[in-house]
Amino acid sequence: MKILLLGSGGREHALALKLTSAAGAVDLVSAPGSDALGELGACVSLDLEAPAAVAAWCAAHRPDLVVVGPEVPLVAGVGDAVRALGIPVFGHDAATARLEGSKAFAKAFMARHGIPCAASHTVTDLAAGEALIEGWAHGFPIVLKADGLAAGKGVVLAPDKAEALRTFRAFMAGQFGEASRTVVFEAPLVGMELSLHVLVDVDARHAAYAMLPACQDHKRIFEGDRGPNTGGMGAFGPIPFLRPEDVERMRRDLVEPTVRGLQKDGLTARGVLFLGVMWTASGPELLEYNVRFGDPETQVLMQLLDEDLAGLLMEVAEGRFRARDLKVKPHTAITVVLAAEDYPEGAKKEVPITVGAPAVTLIHAGTRKQNGQWVTNGGRVMNLAASAPDLTAARAAVLEALGEVGWSGMQVRRDIGLKALAHAQAGKTVQDPW
Ligand code: AMP
Ligand code: GLY
């Protein structure tokens, strides 16, 4: 099977390792790819924001399947353009990708379909937003979200009205261009955040989905959840204290209304939805939709999934997925991100990396090969990922492997999964304060 994989980061390397490790032969082409992806197949230089360019390559090379990693090409309409050629795409149409591409659209969808989420106001006018902040009565922090894609930087939790005003004015002045000239204000939700991935195959005649194990990401740069936000410094799953009835509750309250809502609204879905969930005192509430796999959650999920990935993604892409429980190893998986010096403000590049022989999976995210030597080439540089019968053993496996990989200035959190482990060991459930 010839597969074109769009993207170049850790998520894509994890997908590529899984795709190429299966028994059936996969002929992988990545765009733009990376030196690490180049070890698993060919790489081609394509502008992922240009649907016509991706479609032109596909028309000439006729891949059997296109798998889209990041959200930007989906929002730009790459899925629509390639599907128009009759080539199956694992990745949503632009209309459905608005669930991530427009926070206002996503909130309206949630409201329309009765999906529990934070109270919100969408504002497109400076004076109206300033008045909203002045009279704010939903508690602090005030959550401000740029409507459009802002590379993960468009959500600000403002501790007081003055900070909210500053942020709002910067947004309206075009801090993220058009993306921040519409602003969603939200009431703060308090609780435990988790990442829920659902494969979805929905059209007018058919609606099928399958939930993947819930994961937990660690957003802050430093141990103990301190310091600035990052794209994610490590993740694990499933969450040890999440009971089957808790997962059922998320299915009933969040997933089923989402799938029914897509169908009612006439939206086609052929990919994954990653629900950002806050488990509050009153149960699970939806923070956001992403229309792609999470990074680093994918590095966890690929350790757990016991399916032929190419075949599974093809079923969804061709609209012939039938709801079933996916085969998942009875394990806990974990990934730890190895980040560059200066991340997340910047990323020190071209630092030589020492790679020994880790006994776990080594995933490349921001690396490059220079004269035969791996060097840093991004903020999140590599991941180590492992699975084991439980979280304690999985943690031990990656922590031990940390000795095998390193460079000067490398940043790593050694506490991935530790808070959840303590919560579980204390006999607490998801209902207890986090
Ligand atoms: P989003 O991109 O909408 O998920 O927001 C990014 C991050 O901001 C989330 O992962 C949460 O940690 C946080 N966040 C978003 N919305 C809220 C909210 N209403 N209350 C508290 N935290 C939030
Ligand atoms: N790990 C969070 C994300 O991929 O958005």
User: Does residue 122 have a pLDDT over 90?
Assistant: yes
Indicate which atom in ligand 1 lies nearest the CA of residue 154: 2
Which residue out of 272, 290, 383, 416 has the highest number of ligand 2 atoms within 8 Å of its CB and is therefore the one to mutate? 290
User: Does domain 192-425 fall into CATH 3.30.470.20?
Assistant: yes
Query: Which of the four pLDDT bands, split at 50, 70 and 90, describes residue 178?
Result: confident
Ligand 2 atom 5, closest CA = 294
Confirm or reject: Cβ of 147 under 6 Å from ligand 1: no
Expressed in angstroms and rounded, the spacing between residue 155 Cα and the centre of ligand 1 is: 7
Expressed in angstroms and rounded, the spacing between residue 295 Cα and the centre of ligand 2 is: 5
Other CB atoms closer than 10 Å to residue 227's CB: what's the count?
15
Rounded average pLDDT over 344-351:
96
Percent of the chain with pLDDT over 90: 96
In terms of pLDDT, which residue wins out, 151 or 412? 412
Q: What is the mean pLDDT of the chain?
A: 96
In this predicted model, what pLDDT tens digit does every residue of 235-280 receive, in sequence order? 999 999 999 999 999 999 999 999 999 999 999 999 999 999 999 9
Which one is the CATH code of 2-94: 2.40.50.140, 3.40.50.300, 3.40.50.20, 3.30.43.10?
3.40.50.20
- List the beta bridge partners of residue 201: 208, 270
Across 107-145, b (16+ Cβ under 10 Å) vs e yields bebbeebebbbbebbbbeeeeebbebbeebeeeeebbbb
CA dist 159 and 335 (Å) reads 31
Confirm or reject: Cβ of 290 under 6 Å from ligand 2: yes
Give the long-range contacts of residues 124-127, CB within 8 A, separation 24 or more. Answer: 124/181, 124/182, 124/183, 126/169, 126/172
Confirm or reject: Cβ of 232 under 6 Å from ligand 2: yes
In this predicted model, what pLDDT tens digit does every residue of 209-220 receive, in sequence order? 999 999 999 999
Other CB atoms closer than 10 Å to residue 38's CB: what's the count?
13
User: Does residue 78 have a pLDDT over 80?
Assistant: yes
Percent of the chain with pLDDT over 70: 100
Every domain of the chain with CATH number 3.40.50.20 lies at 2-94
Ligand 2 atom 2, closest CA = 294
pLDDT of residue 22: 81
Rounded average pLDDT over 202-225:
97
User: Does residue 69 have a pLDDT over 80?
Assistant: yes
The amino acid at residue 196 is L
Peptide bond between residue 296 and the one before it cis (omega within 30 degrees of 0): yes
pTM over 0.75: yes
Indicate which atom in ligand 2 lies nearest the CA of residue 296: 1
Rounded average pLDDT over 317-325:
95
pLDDT of residue 153: 84
Every domain of the chain with CATH number 3.30.470.20 lies at 192-425
Q: Do 416 and 235 contact (CB within 8 A), yes or no?
A: yes
Rounded average pLDDT over 373-400:
98
User: Does residue 83 have a pLDDT over 80?
Assistant: yes
Rounded average pLDDT over 271-298:
98
Confirm or reject: Cβ of 117 under 6 Å from ligand 1: no
User: Does residue 300 have a pLDDT over 80?
Assistant: yes
Nearest ligand to residue 191 Cα: 1
User: Does residue 177 have a pLDDT over 90?
Assistant: no
Domain 121-186 homologous superfamily, CATH? ATP-grasp fold, A domain (3.30.1490.20)
Peptide bond between residue 141 and the one before it cis (omega within 30 degrees of 0): yes
Ligand 2 atom 4, closest CA = 294
In this predicted model, what pLDDT tens digit does every residue of 16-25 receive, in sequence order? 999 999 877 8
User: Does residue 381 have a pLDDT over 80?
Assistant: yes
Rounded average pLDDT over 282-304:
98
Confirm or reject: Cβ of 150 under 6 Å from ligand 1: no
Query: Which of the four pLDDT bands, split at 50, 70 and 90, describes residue 121?
Result: very high
pLDDT of residue 80: 98
